[in-house]
Structure 1
Amino acid sequence: MAEAAVVLALGKLVTSFGVSSLRTFIEKEATLLQDLPHIAKHIERELDMIHHFLRQVGTKIYNNKVLEGWIVRVRKVAYCVEDIIDEYCYNITLLQDEGRFKRVIHTTFCANVFHHIAVGLKDIEEEIKHLSQLKRDYREMFNELLDNTSDSADIHLLSSNGSIHSIKEDDIVGMKEDMELLDKWLDPKELTRIVISVWGFGGLGKTTLVRKVYDWEKGLKSFDCYSWITVSHNYNIDAILRQLIPELSEDQSKIPPDLGTVHRGKLNEALKEVLSNKKYLIVLDDVWDTRAFNELSDSLMDDNKGSRIIITTRNNDVASLAQELYKMKLNPLGNDDAFELFQRRCFQKSNTKCPSHLQELSRQIVNKCGGLPLAINAIGNVLAVQGAKEIVWRRINNQFKCELEDNPGLDEVRSALSISFMYLPRHLKNCFLYCSMFPQDYIFNRELLIKLWIVEGFVTQRGNSTLEEVADGYFIELIQQSMMQLVENDEIGRVVSCRMHDIVRELALSFSRKERFGLADINIETENKDDVRRLLVSNHEQVNQLIRSSIDLPHLRTFIAANKVANYQLLCLLISRCKYLAVLELRDSPLDRIPENIGDLFNLRYFGLRRTHVKSLPRSIKKLSNLETLDLKSTKIETLPKEIAKLKKLRHIFAEKLDDPEEKQLRYFRGVKFPDGVFNLVQLQTLKTVEATKKSVKLLKSLPELRLLCVENVRRADCATLFSSLSNMNHLYSFLISANDLNEPLDFDAFNPKCTKLEKLFIRGCWDNETFWKPVFRDYGANIKYLTLTFCKNDADPLPSISSSLPNLIFFSIRRGCWAEDITLHEGWFPHLKTLCLGNMGLRRLCIEEGAVIRLEVLLLISLASLKEVPKGLDLVSSLKKINVSMQHPEFKAEWERGNWKTKLHHVQEIRM
């Protein structure tokens, strides 16, 4: 984004040119160096004005072709500023870290470096002056943009919605159940006023569905009065009130004659009078903001007549204005319904049946629409006028992305989806475009994505929250605004992963290319190399292209290799040719070593080597002074070099080896040996996984900012020191402890924090029998929502103490260990538990008393070879939604069938045996 690029550049300018050590150094240098802070200040002021201008014109930028050239130049200037500032900051750090003797030796070198930076900034200053002059030269056009109060994007959207008022029967495919449910919600048996929401991302058919039901009800005259209002993004509440009053009035003569001029209060009173003692149906279509409804709500009377308000929206926050029981989320059409809709639209003249020679092509085209009714209808209209010409269909199939971008017949699709992007909050636009670079159907992991957003500079500090907490909020917002599709929540309800709809991704990629933001799935040889800022490669041909061209990408800042395509030759070229790289993600690639000159990437902030075959890191890693995330999980690395202690900005270290994929051994994950200096990295928030030694468990107390910590190979003798260190960690959210020996119980006595935010606890190994009665669990156990116990061969039943001290558990797992052959869950136990997993245990009987685990939704019984009986009381758990029993005893299965348990558990949605 041009605006976002300017913001990033501004942020770096503001914080970078107040370093007194540089002023001292440059006093003896040329005038140009002495003027450097003044030049930077001038650039900062000019960029700030450009930023305000871009904010003021808002979405009008996207609909003014003449502005595009100017915007491109603004963006390039902002990118150049960012590059120069990063280089400046790096050299300032070097200058400050060097001793006096080295500084004298490097005087000439430093002078040359800063002279180069000053010249670069001087050039940028001239370019910004030229941009400002262009803006003055074309002031009429710019003034017109500022004076024009209506966005063309809104006009286009309104006209699109207007065309939907005439609904054809063949537009409604795959929505029968939704229509019936919506019709049921309009039933007047419930006399209180009900707010209903229908939500989902653009193009799913929300308006079409609601309009069909609305017109049906209007024909039946089930309500006293009706009104359909398109709210849109730039709504005007007074205009909405002026539209509602005459539409809902039975007697038009009673409408105030001065309706067009009266103030808000008078309008509210008039609407209340119109609705008094009436049963009404009002549709608020395309609502973007909860304020729009809240401003209307007081005027929409509830006289217990069975009135209904239907809201269509793309935003989950708006949809939540309705009660959960009256909240309908639309999903893409299934394959069969999508193809049926396509046939109806495309082959109206041939009994809506696809000719045999076009069957395969048709299905390929429909699949690319991703079940989106708007896209299916639009592409069907385009093809309907082409006739059954296979050559034309094949061209459109092969050029689908280009058709989506520029075919006039698909304008409505572009408008419906593009406006969602245009009206995204500024802080989300870069985050959204970033997601578009990843391959089609890519499943985004929340933790990975938010770390990438942070190192890219997309996340800004808010209050006392960490950058990770702010980015986590961004992730949720994108899902709530229907820009991303939820894939999975974790066991305690947090979003784990999401994906991007294919059509949404294609349009996002077109914005990304237009904005010079990033590239993916492209032929790099045809691109303007200077414009490539971010690049994702996902096949070997793209890698070969990069190698053939010697990676001539001077301003590349992000490189991501997907699908295991990176190799050593590519990595060497990236290091030597792309000095501004900030993100280097190479997970799963067949790499076994890292070039010694990796330290040349002075700007590197994220280095991902997960599941590669790398065995060690070179000592030059100490030069990566900006590194924030180092991901070495499941590599071959056993010891980190002592030089890693130089990386003062490190926030996240993932470093552990998977020795036993079947998880049969206590130490199936082994920690990495960390040098002592790591414990001086006070900004660390994630440390996985530390191998416990007498020294390391003591040094952990120096890391009070840790949020996530894993410690393995813990001896009982070291527990007191370890838990004393943990007691200083007020922010610790997730903690894993793994014992050294099954015969040495872990001792939690020294765990005595003044406060703790601990929510997730993983214990591998045994513990003292009284552990969960300890003060830490009695005082803070209510915070813990996730508990996993493995290899816990204790000699006393801990469930009474766990149920008492950890009453808010949502997820509870016990695997590879047990204290008895029988387990009974008593009445009142685990009232909030949603998932219970029991696995690889010698369990013979499980009994669930009435009133126990009253909110349990998922029961997993994994590899319980001794369990011959179906758990007693299973049918009493009415909240169950899923049961998974794997590798069960034959007698268990026989009793299951004999007792007709599938019928008894008819309320359970998913049963796997």
Structure 2
Amino acid sequence: MAYAALLSLAHILEQTLNHDFKYLIAREKQQIPFLLKKISSLQDFLENFTQNNSTSTEYLESRIRDVAYEAEDLIECHITDRILSESASNGDNRFTVIGRELEKLIEDIDSIKKQVTKIQVESGVQDLQQGISLPVGSSKPASSGKSTLVGLDDDLMEIKTRLVGESSELETISVVGMGGIGKTTLARKVYDDEYIVYHFHIRAWVTVSQGYNVREILLDLLDSMKKLTNQMCEENSEQLAEILYKNLKGMRYLIIMDDVWDANVWDDVKRSFPNDKNGSRIMLTTRLENVAKYAKSCPPLHHMNFLNEDESWNLFCDKVFGKYCCPPELEKIGKKITKNCRGLPLAVVVIGGLLSKATRTQEYWRNVEENLTSIITSNDKQCLKILSLSYANLPCHLKGCFLYMGIFPEDYNIRVSELIKLWIAEGFVKDEKSRSLEDVAEEYFLDLVDRSLILVYDKRSNGKIKTCRIHDLLRDLCVREARKEKVFHVTDESFHGISRDIGVRRVSIHRNGKIPDGSIDIPPLLVRSFLGFGWHSCCPVDNFNLRLLRVWHMGLHKLPNEIIELANLRYLIARCNEGLSLASIYKLRCLQTIILNGGSRTRPLHLPPEIWQMKQLRHVQSKRMILPKARTGGGNSITVLENLQTLCIVKDFECTKDVRRRIPNLKKLGLDYDCEGKNPSLYCLNNLVNLRKLEALKCVFSAPCPSFMKNIKFPISLKNMTLKGCDLAWENMTIVVLLPNLEVLKLKSNAFKGGEWKPNEGEFLQLKFLLIKRNNLKHWRANSIHFPRLQWLVLKKCKYLEEIPSGFGEIPTFQLIELHECGDSVVTSAQQIKQEQVNFGNDAFQVHIHGKYGKF
């Protein structure tokens, strides 16, 4: 977390220089750029530093973290005091205090840099860049006694089929999954399978692990093949690579490389594997998808799945009772225990091993069920080590982001868009001038997914990940490490365990509780984030002294006057009532994200005119809000909100030339019009075409108003569009069909009307997702050439539609038809399309039916 602390501090320093410069005295204006330069050099060191887990390096990182926190507290406290008092010119004697303290911090950082230089000299730059060479695991498959293959039968059959397949080329087959999911167990079963032993002339196994040494890998492979001699042990890597190559030449061989962490391993050993086009195979297991892809694995990658409840129960019983059955009185509790293992074989095996030696009483088992995660990690060091390896192997820029996953409750469906906004607000994302912070954060997120640390739960219509989860054991690891690293503290409504000596900077409050009246006994100047989950009641801000707060993720009935003291607030999400006044929100000068779960068509939220001066804004969201008219400053100058990317849902949005100029980088826009009896020209919708960065647009009309949309033009950058209530004839689809980048189109209630829709060829060339809901369409005259890349079709309450065009059975990319309350004839046509897709070899094609209207 040292890197995350430095990154957060760098954001504060840059904020101070770029936006709070007027609050600095002359000496500080010199010190802060100097401090920022030193911070940058420490960041560079950590980015290129491979930790060797020694006591000295752990101490160094903790010292870097603590000094970064101290500098952050110092600067934010003083700047916030000056902002709130507006007294930057009143008494320079007071301001010299920060100058002296900054001098001490700079001295501390210089002292740390001396230690850094010493480590670099002692370890050598090469070791720091490539990692300290550690012994690899074992030349033979690790054995832990009896190994039960529960839930892996299908995996075993699939891998065996691929290994002995007809292809004569040398192929690499990769198995990917999180730690403890059974990759090594599967590989061991494959390696020892009788048919595999018969099929391949030579088999060899090497466990690579995190720190690797090429020479050791080659020696272990030769040892596994029983070819290793005393003379070979004296050879160098080049000579051993040649010996291995000669021993494999002309043979049909199977090499298993277990637990590979570094893509460079492949470059180091691949030349030792001859391709004699005789069906030789390499099997690789890894937690990292990028490693498997780098090794040019034969697609698809084999992703390990979690056990289902029956498989978990069978594995558990085998570990606890062996050949005997579970006593009836323990079965119900036992099944709860295995269910709480969330399908991870490692968890099932560890808890099964524990209970096999423990008292078999309901009381004891119930205690295990209630404290499962902590019992597993505290009773099995090997389990904790296996999981901790994934964290230890993370690059420094991902460690803070990963630990932050523990701030959410168990089994919580985490919205990816929310997670990314929080990472940015917390200062965990490095600013890269060529890309937005959101794009960088999304790359961080996908990297964690590829490392099998984050589980994909649900996807969006455009194929991107919508929600995710983290396994309970990994979440427990995050909470433990975060407490140690002073990242956050998880508590319940009683605030148990929070005290002034733990240095907590973020508080996550779980369960359905109430914050007690009065102040909380925590160090108020250290707390940067308050997050509440599962709350039925709302929390008053005025109970706290939290002027340095960055993230507020709580319920609020109102925004009290004290909100203006949160001068550092970057993220505000509140469950607000519809009559909420936002008059003072503009004083939150650092605010990046506003998410207000309030407002309606009849009582929208009114944003103050000063909203147009809030330069840090990135995302503004509510159920319904009204934007004020923008005021022009002297000399016709305007404030451009360069960072603003999301604006939704805006009621009766006027897209004037002035407004459009203020939001040039907007990516997502949601609009709601009450247009009955109003002049369309009033809203200047033709200016939407000039929002050249816009990727997602939602446009809803509360009453039929086709005149608003007839001659409109949309920006060609659009990828996602939702229309509702437009009441346009299908002939007017021309406003949509020629958008070259459109991938998602949602036509909700009465977006278009008419009994027949006949699209033209070449219109929806990139469309992947199409939803049609509630209209009077009866005849849809289309085929595969009109939607050549369609993947997902959703029809909801299309009660007049007779059938889905039969030509859709020929769309090569088609994957899913989803029907909600459609007629029998539509269901029949969907089943026929499925059969045609299956006939073309698309066995994965699916039809999901949710209710039917019946025959018409």
1:766 is aligned, of 727, 731, 734, to 727
1:572 counterpart SS class:
helix
Judged with a 3 Å threshold, the aligned counterparts in structure 2 of structure 1 residues 641 and 52 are, in CA distance, closer, same or farther, namely closer
Aligned partner (choices 579, 592, 608) of residue 641 of structure 1: 608
CA contact (8 A) 1:759 1:784 kept: yes
Alpha-carbon distance change, 624 to 768 in structure 1, aligned in 2, over 3 angstroms: same
Residue 535 of structure 1: how far off its partner (Å): 1.1
Cα 1:431/1:113, change in 2 over 3 Å = farther
Amino acid at match of 2:71: V
Secondary structure in 2 aligned to 1:282?
strand
* 1:473, distance to aligned residue in structure 2 (A): 1.3
In the alignment, is the contact (CA less than 8 A) between 1:691 and 1:713 conserved in 2? yes
Q: Given the superposition, is the C-alpha separation of residues 626 and 87 from structure 1 closer, same or farther in structure 2, using an over 3 Å criterion?
A: farther
Cα distance in 1 for residues equivalent to 2:618 and 2:708: 29
Give SS of 2:391's match. helix
**Cα deviation, residue 470, structure 1:** 1.2
Amino acid at match of 2:626: V
Partner of 1:744: 706
Q: Which residue number in structure 2 is paired with residue 305 of structure 1?
A: 278
Please name the residue that 2:160 is paired with: 183
CA spacing shift, 1:185–1:852, aligned 2, 3 Å: closer
Conserved? CA contact 2:184–2:258, under 8 Å? yes
Q: CA deviation at 1:870?
A: 2.8
Paired position in structure 2 for 1:708? 668
Deviations 1:45-96 (A, max 9, x none): 66566656656764334x63x776665454232112123333556578789x
Give me the whole-angstrom Cα distance separating, in 2, the residues matched to 1:849 and 1:183: 39
1:452 equivalent in structure 2: 422
Task: Write the letter of the residue equivalent to 1:172.
Answer: L
Q: Give 2:276's aligned amino acid.
A: D
* Counterparts of residues 622-771 of structure 1 (less than 5 Å): 622-635=586-599, 637-657=604-624, 671-677=625-631, 680-692=640-652, 699-713=659-673, 717-718=679-680, 722-739=684-701, 741-747=703-709, 749-751=711-713, 756-764=716-724, 765-767=726-728, 770-771=731-732
- Give the aligned residue type for 1:225: I
Which residue type is aligned with residue 306 of structure 2?
A: P
TM-score, normalised to structure 1, is 0.81
Note the alpha carbon deviations across 1:172-209, whole angstroms, 9 max, x for none.
Answer: 22212222222222225433322211111000111011
- Aligned-pair RMSD on alpha carbons? 3.9
One-letter amino acid of the counterpart of residue 548, structure 2: Y
Take 2:522 and 2:648, find their aligned partners in 1: how far apart are those partners?
34
TM score, norm. by length of structure 2: 0.87
Q: Which amino acid in the other structure matches residue 6 of structure 1? A: L
Q: Which residue of 1 aligns with 2:570?
A: 605
Greater displacement, 14-23 / 138-147: 138-147
In structure 1, list runs of 5 or more residues that go unmatched. Answer: 28-33, 96-102, 658-670, 893-913
State how far apart, in whole Å, the 2-side matches of 1:150 and 1:618 are.
51
- Aligned-partner Cα distance in 1 for 2:623–2:435: 28
Task: Considering fraction of residues, name the structure with more helix.
Answer: 1
Change (3 A) 1:502 1:154: farther
User: What amino acid does structure 1 have at the position aligned with 2:155?
Assistant: D
Percent of aligned pairs sharing the same letter = 25
CA distance 1:462–1:789, change in 2 (3 Å): same
Partners in 1 of 2:628 and 2:276 — Cα distance?
69
Alignment-derived partner of residue 210 in structure 2: 233
CA distance in 2, matches of 1:438, 1:419: 22
Question: Aligned with 1:508: secondary structure?
Answer: helix
For the structure 1 residues 565 and 769, does the alpha-carbon distance in structure 2 shift closer, same or farther, using more than 3 Å as the test?
A: closer
Give the partner amino acid of 1:758: L
Corresponding residue for 2:635?
A: none
SS of match in other structure, 1:688:
strand
Distance 1:471 1:51, change over 3 A: closer
Shift of 1:607: 0.5
- State the match for 1:593 in structure 2: 558
> Structure 1 CA distance, aligned partners of 2:340 and 2:319?
16
Q: How far apart in 1 are the matches of 2:297 and 2:52?
A: 36
Residue from 535, 543, 551 that aligns with 1:583: 551
Q: Is the 8 A contact 2:35 2:106 kept in 1?
A: yes
Residues 267-318 of structure 1: CA deviation (Å, up to 9, x unaligned) = 5544443322210000011112333224433442222211111110111223
Match among 380, 388, 397 for residue 418 of structure 1: 388
Q: Does 1:783 align with 2:741?
A: yes
**Contact 1:864–1:888 (CA<8 Å) still a contact in 2?**
yes
Aligned residue in 2 for 1:502 = 472
What's 1:903 paired with?
none
1:442 Cα deviation after fit: 0.7
Which of 386, 403, 406 in structure 2 is aligned with 1:436? 406
Larger deviation, residues 67-76 vs 552-561: 67-76
In 1, the alpha carbon distance for the partners of 2:113 and 2:514 equals 39
Letter in 1 for 2:353: N
Matches within 5 A, 1:203-214: 203-214=180-191
Query: Post-superposition shift, 1:805?
Result: 1.4
2:504 corresponds to:
532
Taking a change above 3 Å as real, the CA distance of residues 506 and 142 of structure 1, as seen in their structure-2 partners, is farther
Q: Kindly tell me: are residues 274 and 647 of structure 1, through their superposed partners in 2, closer, same or farther at Cα, counting changes over 3 Å?
A: same
**Structure 1 counterpart SS, 2:818:** strand
Q: What's the CA shift for 1:338?
A: 2.0
Aligned residue in 1 for 2:4: 4
Task: Name the CA distance, whole Å, in 2 between partners of 1:890 and 1:541.
Answer: 47
Determine if the alignment matches structure 1 residue 512 to structure 2 residue 482: yes
CA contact (8 A) 1:616 1:640 kept: no
Partner of 2:524 in structure 1?
553
**Paired residue secondary structure (2:855):** helix
Pair 1:373-2:354 in alignment:
no
Q: Distance in 1 between matches of 2:848 and 2:657?
A: 39
Task: Confirm or deny: 8 A CA contact 2:759 2:781 kept in the other structure.
Answer: no
Q: 1:174 aligns with which of 151, 162, 174?
A: 151
After superposing the two structures, state which structure 1 stretch, 418-427 or 690-699, moved more.
690-699
Q: Indicate if the aligned counterparts of 2:73 and 2:525 stay in contact, CA closer than 8 A.
A: no
Query: Contact conserved, 1:597 with 1:620, CA < 8 A, in 2?
Result: no
- Is it true that 1:616 corresponds to 2:588 in the alignment? no
Q: Is 1:108 the counterpart of 2:90 in the alignment?
A: yes
For 1:794 and 1:469, how far apart are their aligned partners in 2?
38
Displacement of 1:113 in angstroms is 6.1
Distance 1:375 1:506 in 2: 13
1:372-399: per-residue Cα shift (whole Å, max 9, x none)?
2223222333343444466665665555
Matched, 1:338 2:312: yes
Deviations 1:766-824 (A, max 9, x none): 336554446x853xx231111112313434845413x5311221111121223x42223
Amino acid at match of 2:606: T
- Residue 118 (structure 1) aligns with: 99
State the shift of 1:497 in Å. Answer: 1.3
* Code of the aligned partner of 1:216: D
Higher relative CO (CA 8 A, sep ≥ 6), structure 1 or 2? 2
Aligned partners of 1:869 and 1:891 also within 8 Å: no
Aligned residues: 833
User: What SS is found at the alignment partner of 1:3?
Assistant: helix
Distance in structure 2 (CA, Å) of the matches to 1:141 and 1:773: 64
Partner of 2:849: 885
| Cα contact 1:701–1:725 (8 A) shared by 2 | no
Q: Aligned equivalents of 2:199 and 2:364: distance in 1?
A: 49
Match for 2:175 among 198, 213, 228? 198
Deviation string for 1:667-691 (max 9, x for gaps)?
A: xxxx534443598534311110222
Compare 141-150 and 366-375 and name the one that shifted more.
141-150
Change (3 A) 1:813 1:553: same
TM-superposition CA deviations, 1:816-865 (whole Å, max 9, x none): 223x4222332423121111122233424115334544433222332336
Amino acid corresponding to residue 639 of structure 1 in structure 2:
H
Structure 1 residues 129, 262: CA separation in 2 closer, same or farther (over 3 Å shift)? closer
> Does the alignment pair 1:329 with 2:327?
no
Q: What is the alpha-carbon distance in structure 2 between the residues aligned to residue 144 and residue 291 of structure 1?
A: 21
How far is 1:647 from its partner? 1.8
Please give the alpha-carbon distance, in whole angstroms, between the structure 1 residues aligned to 2:57 and 2:265: 32
| Corresponding residue of 2:52 | 60
The letter of the residue matching 1:340 is N
Q: Distance in 2 between matches of 1:433 and 1:582?
A: 18
